[in-house]
Chain A
Amino acid sequence: MKSIISYITEILKGIWTLLTGMKVTAKYFFTPWKHVTQQYPENRKTLKIAERFRGEVIMPHNENNEHKCTGCGICEINCPNGSIEIITKSLILEDGKKKRAIDQHIYHLGMCTFCNLCVKACPTGAIVMGQNFEHAVWDRSTLTKVLNQPGSKIMEGVKD
Chain B
Amino acid sequence: MAFNIYDFTTLTKSIHEGLSSQFSPTATLAIEWTIVGLAYLLFVALFGLFLVYAERKVCAAFQQRMGPMRVGPWGLLQTIADFIKLLMKELIMPKNADKFLYNLAPFIVIIVSFLVISVIPFAPGLATFDFDIGIFFVTAVSSVGVIGILLAGWSSNNKYSLIGAMRSGAQIVSYELSVGLSLITMIILAGTMQISGIVEGQRDMWFIFKGHVPAIIAFFVFIIAGTAETNRGPFDLAEAESELTAGFHTEYSGIKFAFFFLAEYINLFIVAAMATTVFLGGWMPLHFGEFESFNQIMDLMPGLFWFFFKVLGVIFLMMWFKWTFPRLRVDQILNLEWKYLLPINLFNILLMAAVVLFGLHF
Q: Is A22 an interface residue (CB 8 A)?
A: yes
Category for how many chain A residues contact B = 10 to 19
Contact of A22 among B64, B324, B340, B344 (CB under 8 A): B324
Docked-complex contact A36 and B65, CB < 8 angstroms = yes
Q: Is A25 an interface residue (CB 8 A)?
A: yes
Complex Cα–Cα for A26 and B321 (A): 11
Q: Distance (Å) between the CB of B107 and the closest chain A CB? A: 36
Docked-complex contact A25 and B65, CB < 8 angstroms = no
Chain B residues within an 8 Å CB radius of A18: 324-325
Contact with B along A107-144 (1 / 0, CB 8 A): 00000000000000000000000000000000000000
Q: Is B338 an interface residue (CB 8 A)?
A: no
Docked-complex contact B62 and A29, CB < 8 angstroms = yes
Docked-complex contact B65 and A11, CB < 8 angstroms = no
Query: Total interface residues on B, using CB and 8 Å?
Result: 16
Q: Is B66 an interface residue (CB 8 A)?
A: yes
Q: Is B209 an interface residue (CB 8 A)?
A: no
A18-B325, A29-B61, A32-B61 are known contacts. Are A39 and B66 too (CB-CB below 8 A)? Answer: yes
Q: Is B69 an interface residue (CB 8 A)?
A: yes
Docked-complex contact A22 and B320, CB < 8 angstroms = yes
From A42, which residue of chain B is reached at the shortest CB distance? Answer: B69
Q: Say what secondary structure dominates the interface of chain A.
A: helix
Docked-complex contact A37 and B324, CB < 8 angstroms = no
Q: What is the number of contacts between chain A and chain B, taking CB atoms within 8 Å?
A: 37
Complex Cα–Cα for A143 and B243 (A): 41
Q: Is B323 an interface residue (CB 8 A)?
A: yes
A1-45 at interface with B (beta carbon < 8 Å): 11, 18, 21-22, 24-26, 28-29, 32, 34-37, 39
Docked-complex contact A28 and B62, CB < 8 angstroms = yes
Docked-complex contact A25 and B69, CB < 8 angstroms = no
Q: Is B63 an interface residue (CB 8 A)?
A: yes
Q: Distance (Å) between the CB of B11 and the closest chain A CB? A: 38
Complex Cα–Cα for A70 and B340 (A): 74
Docked-complex contact B324 and A21, CB < 8 angstroms = yes
B151-209 at interface with A (beta carbon < 8 Å): none
Docked-complex contact A25 and B324, CB < 8 angstroms = yes
Chain A residues within an 8 Å CB radius of B61: 28-29, 32, 35
Docked-complex contact A37 and B320, CB < 8 angstroms = no
Q: B residues within 8 Å of A by Cβ?
A: 58, 60-66, 69, 320-321, 323-325, 340, 344
Q: Can you list 16 A-B contacts (CB < 8 A)? A: A11-B344, A18-B324, A18-B325, A21-B324, A22-B324, A25-B324, A28-B63, A29-B61, A29-B62, A32-B61, A34-B64, A35-B61, A36-B65, A37-B64, A37-B65, A37-B66
Q: A residues within 8 Å of B by Cβ?
A: 11, 18, 21-22, 24-26, 28-29, 32, 34-37, 39
Q: When A and B form their complex, which 9 residue pairs have the shortest distance between CB atoms, in order from nearest?
A: A25-B324, A37-B66, A37-B65, A25-B62, A29-B61, A21-B324, A36-B64, A35-B64, A28-B64
12 new A-B contacts at CB < 8 Å, known A25-B323, A32-B61, A37-B65: A11-B344, A21-B325, A22-B324, A24-B324, A25-B62, A29-B58, A29-B61, A34-B64, A35-B61, A35-B64, A35-B66, A39-B69
